[in-house]
Amino acid sequence: MKLYLDTNRFIETNNPLDISISLSNTNENLRAWHVDLPVIEAVRAHGFVGAVAEGGSVNFRNISFNPHGHGTHTECLGHITPIIYSVNSSLKKYFFTAELVSIEPKRIQNQEDGIDDFIITKEQLENFIGGKNLEAIVIRTLPNQENKQHLNYTASNPPYLDIDCIELLNQCGVKHLLIDLPSVDRESDGGKLLFHHAFWQVPLDPQFDKTITELIFVKDSIKDGNYILELQTAPFENDASPSRPILYEIKI
């Protein structure tokens, strides 16, 4: 089905480009932030078993997981505020203009502990989005190995975004930031979460309509450029929710 953006441009809704990572109860499921693997298990109570393979009438299973640590998720400012605002209440629109960019993080030495970090800098981002007006940006880090979908990121000091990127994102009008890393901030930063606070302008001017989506995966076959992003989340009343961001190619 063709959905026209204007008289010349359209997207084909039957050709979605899924950039989410699925969740499973296997050792292949990715992890971050010291969480154990997700648990998906049949309900067993009062003589009932929620597994057809074991004689039950239906498959009826409980799922235990952490949205921040087990897969693609979208979060709102409630992630860092005393009041746990809900991403389900914050996200009211689902389609956005988006730019997909591929960046190899730059190696620096962290001045606080002397450990080498890998960061995405303002200068790198500016090469892709400087002067543009965007609703969303999707960042694919390089190299882009398939094992990103199965890593245990805990205690690995993954790459993150330099705080200076905030100024550029604001200039471009970005309200939705998507990245294939477990966090936009350094894994061990003493709980400062400087980028999160600056992006949502907490506590001085809280931005309720902005979101951050982490732990996406963008296949190499999806080329850098301009897309329409569909950002859907599970309707959980929580600061973060599992999500399934979809890109659509813009055609003429």
Each residue's pLDDT, cut to its tens digit, for the chain (252 residues) gives 998 899 899 999 999 999 999 999 999 999 999 999 999 999 999 999 999 999 999 999 999 999 999 999 999 999 999 999 999 999 999 999 999 999 999 999 887 788 899 999 999 999 999 999 999 999 999 999 999 999 999 999 999 999 999 999 999 999 999 999 999 999 999 999 999 999 999 999 999 999 999 999 999 999 999 999 999 999 999 999 999 999 999 998
Q: What is the pLDDT of residue 125?
A: 97
Segment (H or E) for 88: helix 87-90
Q: What is the pLDDT of residue 91?
A: 95
Q: What is the pLDDT of residue 102?
A: 98
Taking the mean position of all CA atoms in its chain, how far away is CA 48?
A: 38
Tokens of 112: 């606080």
Helices (H) and strands (E) in the chain, counts: 5, 17
CA gap 141, 160 in Å, rounded? 10
Q: What is the pLDDT of residue 115?
A: 86
10-12 and 2-4 as β-strands: parallel, antiparallel, unpaired? antiparallel
Fold of 2-21+69-249: Glucose Oxidase; domain 1 (3.50.30)
- Cβ-in-10-Å burial (0-12, 13-18, 19+) of 134 comes to middle
CA dihedral 80, 86, 92, 94 (to 10 degrees): 80
Q: What is the pLDDT of residue 110?
A: 83
